[in-house]
Every structure is written in C-alpha cells, then in structure tokens.
C-alpha cells in the first residue's frame, strides 16, 4: 500500500492517522466522562493527567494530520451530488476545527485553573492564560460544549460513511479501511 493518497484512494499515512485519532478521541472522551463522576482526590487527578496527556497527543496529531492533508492530493469524492460534497467538506473542516479547539480549550482551562499540563510526566506545557477563576468557568463550559459538538460531528461522519456503504453502495467507506487503496 502506498504511503500517500492519490486521486482515487487514501494512503497508509492518512488511514493510520484517521484510525489512531478515532481511537484516541474515543478513549479521551471516555476518560473525560468517567473522571467527571469521581470525587476530588488522587484517582481523579491521575485520570485528569491521562486525559490531558492524551488531549495534547490529539492536538499534535491533528496538526500533523492537517499538514499531511495539505501536502498530498485529496481523493475525489464518489458522490454525484454537489450538496453532499459541500456538506462532507464542511463536516471535515468542522472535525478538524474541533480536533484543534477541544484540546486547546482544555489546555487553556487548566491554565486558568493554575493546574499545569504535564504530558505523560515527560514535560510541562506553558500556561496559555493567566490564572482566572471566571475564565476557568467559561472555558469549562466551552470544553463541555465542544465535547458534544465532537459527538454530533463523529456520529454524522459515521452515519455518512454507512450511508455511502449500504445505500449508495460506493467505495467511500472501503477506501478508508485498512488495506489496499480502492481504485473505484
């Protein structure tokens, strides 16, 4: 399988980034949801640390993914409908936007709460904003809203892929699955 994508299909690098990020986003969302139910204490702080480290990983991979996408051809859409192609493009842009905005809002929220972001205990990120309780509360709301925006966008993304596979019966989903690049 080719590393880079071409006009008819996705390459190994794009597929790998897609599925690694999908898995990481699922894990981070699950940890975030779980830690909300924990009482304040060491266990909650440990889960928060994991959540933050994985969030920074997602931010880094999202930046890499955007750079990679700008450096290679985007496979042609298989949809014959212009509106569907526009909605797909907007959906992808929104997904890229939340993959950047979500971890940044968490990082800023930690900064506003004066809790440094340590990445897997290897290094600590600088604060993005000064400690500010009011800003923390605002960013907490933004972070929560973005988490649900991600859920809506991911459900829409999966729904569109399944529609292409089961209703349109085209190769849209198959060409993003691991393995050979589809030539349809």
Which range, of 6-20, 89-103, 147-161, averages the lowest pLDDT? Answer: 6-20
- Res. 21: pLDDT tops 80: yes
Is residue 57 in some structural domain? yes
Q: Are 123 and 112 in contact (CB under 8 A)?
A: no
Determine the structural domain holding residue 54 and report its residue range.
12-176
In the chain, how many domains are there?
A: 1
Residue 170 CA from chain centroid, whole number: 25
Summary mean pLDDT of the chain: 95
Asked, for residue 2, whether it belongs to a domain, the answer is no
Residue 66 confidence class, pLDDT cut points 50, 70, 90: very high
CB distance 52 to 117 below 8 Å: yes
Task: Tell me the C-alpha distance between 81 and 105, whole Å.
Answer: 36
- Structural domain contains residue 37: yes
Within-domain flag for 141: yes
Does a structural domain hold residue 87? yes
Average pLDDT over residues 172-178: 93
Q: What is the arithmetic mean of pLDDT over 135-151? A: 98
pLDDT tier at 80, thresholds 50, 70, 90: very high
**What is the enclosing helix (H) or strand (E) of 110?**
helix 82-112
**Does a structural domain hold residue 93?**
yes
Residue 75 lies in a domain: yes
pLDDT score for 182 = 53
pLDDT of residue 178: 87
**Residue 164 pLDDT:** 96
Question: For residue 139, which of 105, 114, 116 has the smallest C-alpha distance?
Answer: 105
- Band (pLDDT 50/70/90 cuts) for residue 8 is confident
- In this predicted structure, the answer to whether residue 184 has a pLDDT above a threshold of 60 is no
How does residue 2 score in pLDDT terms, banded at 50, 70 and 90?
confident
Q: What is the CATH number of the domain that holds 108?
A: 1.20.950.20
């Amino acid at each position: 399988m080719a590393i880079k994508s071409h006009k008819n299909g996705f390459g190994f690098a794009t597929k790998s980034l897609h599925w690694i990020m999908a898995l990481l986003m699922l894990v981070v969302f699950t940890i975030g949801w779980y830690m909300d139910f924990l009482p304040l204490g060491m266990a909650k702080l440990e889960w928060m640390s994991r959540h933050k480290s994985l969030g920074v990983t997602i931010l880094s991979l999202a930046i890499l993914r955007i750079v990679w996408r700008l450096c290679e051809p985007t496979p042609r859409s298989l949809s014959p409908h212009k509106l569907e192609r526009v909605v797909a493009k907007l959906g992808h842009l929104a997904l890229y936007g939340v993959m950047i905005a979500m971890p940044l809002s968490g990082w800023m929220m930690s900064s506003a709460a004066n809790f440094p972001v340590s990445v897997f205990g290897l290094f600590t990120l600088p604060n993005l904003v000064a400690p500010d309780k009011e800003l923390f509360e605002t960013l907490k709301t933004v972070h929560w809203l973005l988490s649900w925006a991600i859920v809506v966008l991911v459900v829409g993304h999966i729904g569109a892929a399944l529609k292409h596979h089961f209703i349109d019966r085209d190769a849209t989903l198959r060409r993003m699955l691991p393995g050979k690049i589809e030539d349809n």
